Structure 1
Amino acid sequence: MTDLIHTIANSLDSGTVIPYLGPDMLSLCSDVQVPATPLALAESMTVKVSVPHKIRKRLTQAAQFIENFKHRKSVVHLMNEAYASSPAPSPLHKVLAGSAAQLWVDTWYDDTFAKALSQTPGEWTQVQGLSQSEHFGDWVAAYGSDGTLLPDMPATAERLLYKPLGSHSPASNYLVSDSDFVEVLTEIDIQTPIPAAVQAFRSGRSFLFLGCRFDDQLTRCFARQIMKRSSDQHWAVLPEEPTRMEARFLQEQNITRIAMPLAQFSEALIAALQVDATA
């Protein structure tokens, strides 16, 4: 396992690995005041708006009900309230942001990793997925490191943060309801919603999945399409025993499972990077 972690550290140093971050990255942060799981987010929304009991714990369905019977603005308002706080980046967030990686994929709604990037020298671009109910015909929007909307989508970028589900900052873009995902999933197989810069940069590179689970079809579909045409070597820190469908996904995508708690992996990776830096 030590050799594997050093291999990943070397890949980060050389910029040949793409960190792919999930909701559980928030478990590494202190004083987290934002929902850190789909269930927690669903509960934060449905405690404020009444929805049928059978969908209260189903995030996309609950959001869709609110969108249908209240308004899309109600969904955005609830999401803004849920993610108004921005947790302080963990040491792993900071190390990844300061690494030689040039593309990061962040699949949750909080602003933590963007904050980590803002604490590193240099410019970076953030690209967020857009809801078709609010931005029909536009799949993504690009923002400068200062939060300014960019007039053109960059074909390439030296440092790019890709938020396929959107994020709280800078413009409250969210993919969260059933209809949001239906629209994207009808096009994602032909790569339409995935920015050209992401498609170009992933070629030949490996992905490192951190804080992710693949125990539902939605997360597997997004990961599969985002990593399409990349390297044939990837890693996922997954301490829990994989479900049958997760195990099949890992095998299909040539993802090596690292059966280690994320906090323990974080410590080991940071130590390996420090060793490499002094070697």
Structure 2
Amino acid sequence: MKELIKKLKTGEIIPFLGMGVFEKTLTKDGKKLPYDSDSMILALNNNRAMSPRLMYEYTRAAMSLEQRKGREFIVQMTNHIYTSTKYDIPSVYKWLEKIKPKYVIDTNLDDSLQKIYSSVNHFLITGISRITADYDRYIIYKFDVISKTYTKIDKEELNLDLPILFKPMGSIKPDMNFVISDADFVDWLTEAMGGYAVPEVLKEFRKGKQYIFFGVDFSRDTFRMVANEITLGLDGGFVLLNKEELSKKEDKFIKTHNLENIDMGIDEFINSYE
């Protein structure tokens, strides 16, 4: 355990968080936060199911809603999901709060990650998509713990002196930028493959690192591609998939990336390492 904690702090092992970390999270009014593709679709569509073709993956459903109701509708609905009511920060964030890893990747869209680092200065990188002004698909901020504010900075100012929080799919804060619909992901992944979704500092830092994946659904094509692009150069790692049987796509991704499947739920894993 001490070795794992040490490697998380130094960045030798990088935590990678997906939507599944919200599986047991309830809002104060008793509702469930989205924790998988289906529940995200329901949240975006006022708790109504959509056609089987659109229910395949939430990115497809979000694209349909955007085409029918406009981009602003998707942005505001996504923000509403995480700001309309309060909820406890999921257990894995509380666990990481004690450790304060040097580098965290979080594909969730809320601000739980920012909250657990609010006591220290840090860099925050949020993903963006479908812009024409630049190839880079990210914005970099620096957080000042005294003023409790984020300030946009140039990519040349990013360094490894402070913890780095990377939210490649965007976030509700400090600005509402979301990579959520099919068009968003196509654009983001296209530029990621060209090298424009990750700052140079992190491209160097990530070489030869291990990862531990919490709540990432590798059965979904989109997030396998996202994970693959962000972790280029990895040296294996671990994934928590508490499932009786893995799908062929999950099994292939795990073997291809030399990951060890820890057959535990997130809470069970955290409790065993406290």
- TM-score after normalising by structure 2: 0.85
Letter in 2 for 1:16: E
Relative to structure 1, the CA distance from residue 86 to residue 225 in structure 2 (aligned partners, 3 Å threshold; closer, same or farther) is farther
Q: Give unpaired runs (5+ residues) of structure 1.
A: 272-279
Distance apart, 1:50 and its partner CA: 9.8
1:263 aligns with one of 234, 253, 267: 267
The aligned counterpart of 1:97 is 97
| Aligned 8 A contact 1:98 1:117 in 2 | no
The aligned counterpart of 1:77 is 76
The aligned counterpart of 1:88 is 88
The DSSP-based 3-state class of the residue aligned with 2:126 is strand
The percent identity for this pair of structures is 24
Q: How does 1:11-90 map to 2 (within 5 A)?
A: 11-27=7-23, 29=25, 31=27, 33=31, 34-47=33-46, 54-55=53-54, 58-84=57-83, 85=85, 87-90=87-90
Q: CA RMSD in A?
A: 2.5
The whole-number CA distance in structure 2 between the counterparts of 1:206 and 1:247 is 18
The aligned counterpart of 1:191 is 195
Q: How does 1:131-170 map to 2 (within 5 A)?
A: 131-132=129-130, 137-145=135-143, 146-153=148-155, 154-157=157-160, 158-170=162-174
The aligned counterpart of 2:214 is 210
Asked if 1:238 is matched to 2:236, the reply is: no
Letter in 2 for 1:21: L
| Aligned 8 A contact 1:51 1:65 in 2 | no
Of the structure 1 ranges 126-135 and 199-208, higher mean CA displacement relative to structure 2 is found in 126-135
Relative to structure 1, the CA distance from residue 43 to residue 147 in structure 2 (aligned partners, 3 Å threshold; closer, same or farther) is farther
The DSSP-based 3-state class of the residue aligned with 1:141 is strand
1:9 aligns with one of 5, 9, 24: 5
Letter in 1 for 2:154: D
The DSSP-based 3-state class of the residue aligned with 1:98 is helix
Q: Give unpaired runs (5+ residues) of structure 2.
A: none
The DSSP-based 3-state class of the residue aligned with 1:186 is helix
Relative to structure 1, the CA distance from residue 88 to residue 115 in structure 2 (aligned partners, 3 Å threshold; closer, same or farther) is farther
The DSSP-based 3-state class of the residue aligned with 2:153 is coil
The whole-number CA distance in structure 2 between the counterparts of 1:13 and 1:108 is 21
Distance apart, 1:80 and its partner CA: 1.2
The whole-number CA distance in structure 2 between the counterparts of 1:167 and 1:214 is 21
Relative to structure 1, the CA distance from residue 264 to residue 139 in structure 2 (aligned partners, 3 Å threshold; closer, same or farther) is same
| Aligned 8 A contact 2:125 2:141 in 1 | yes
Relative to structure 1, the CA distance from residue 58 to residue 206 in structure 2 (aligned partners, 3 Å threshold; closer, same or farther) is closer
Letter in 1 for 2:236: Q
Give the number of aligned pairs: 263
The aligned counterpart of 1:277 is none
| Aligned 8 A contact 1:238 1:259 in 2 | yes
| Aligned 8 A contact 2:141 2:151 in 1 | yes
- TM-score after normalising by structure 1: 0.84
Of the structure 1 ranges 129-138 and 159-168, higher mean CA displacement relative to structure 2 is found in 129-138
Letter in 1 for 2:22: L
